[in-house]
Homo-oligomer: A and B are copies of this chain.
Amino acid sequence: MADWTVFFVSDHTGVTAEAMGRSLLSQFSGLHYKTLTVPFVSPGNLPDLLNRIASSSPALVFSTLTDPVLREKLKASGAPVFDPFSAFSVPLAQSLEQTPVSITGLTHGINQGYEDRMEAVNFALAFDDGLNPERLAEADLIISGVSRAGKTPTALYIALQYGKKVANYPLTPDDLEADSLPQQLLANLPRLRGLTLSPERLAQIREARLPSSRYASLENCRRELAAAERLFRKHGVPQIDSTHRSVEEIAARIVHELRNL
């Protein structure tokens, strides 16, 4: 089977072209390919890109170039180009009964809420791992769980992607032996979410941090998780299992459930 070179081409970061392309390629099994993301394509650096595509055969191109002139030139590379702008701009204009404006240089709208997102990141750092517990009422969302359940990456991802102020609050061994969740969490129950995972996975993660410790032992992980899940259930806190989910998926599930409350 041929070894393909797959180009993800964009006049912005290339993240959307790459996500779309990888998703489409995941439909084909046993495919051998290497990928090259080429962001910030402009009239100035397009000739270089066309040369690279021409010298990589066989090649595929996934593009989110917005400039119709650049899009046409890209097609002239000879490689198949998969491009939602070319495919959808005309039918979208027909649906909207409006002509598209030239949008070269416009961002893809992801600058939206930039200030909010930066503020949210600073908030997540200031409220990481139980910091500032007396100010939890300021949080849009509070994520709790045992040590190494994945609270920090989840909180930071939600802050960066969705601009929400997320605190994370660890359940310590002392908390887990109590009859109810800590007072600071009880005072903010509607915005509290529990993060859980399988004992095996948690033991593996903890083992990497503190090898052969009681902290990392499967038995201890099992006991801590059972106690945490019991406390969350007792207070009706929705829980999400992170064992087989990426941080993006966990974040999306938490945020979209929140919107529906």
Binds B, one of A219-227, A231-239, A250-258: A250-258
- The verdict on A39 contacting B108 (CB below 8 Å), with A98-B28, A153-B160 known, is no
Q: How far is the CB of A174 from chain B (nearest CB, A)?
A: 24
A37 at the interface (CB under 8 A from B): yes
User: Are A153 and B118 in contact (CB-based, < 8 A)?
Assistant: yes
Number of chain A residues close to chain B: CB under 8 A: 69
Pick the residue among B4, B91, B108, B156 that contacts A121 (CB under 8 A): B156
Determine whether the beta carbon of A13 is less than 8 Å from that of B100. Answer: no
Which residues of A approach B to under 8 Å, CB–CB? 4, 12-16, 19-20, 22-29, 31, 37-40, 60, 64, 66, 80, 82, 84-85, 87-89, 91-93, 95-96, 98, 100-101, 103, 106-112, 114, 117-118, 121-122, 125, 128, 150, 152-153, 156-157, 160-161, 246-249, 251-253, 256
- Contacts beyond the supplied A28-B93, A39-B256: 19 A-B pairs with Cβ under 8 Å: A14-B252, A16-B19, A19-B108, A24-B84, A24-B92, A27-B100, A29-B101, A31-B98, A37-B256, A40-B256, A60-B92, A82-B88, A82-B92, A84-B84, A114-B246, A114-B247, A122-B153, A153-B160, A157-B160
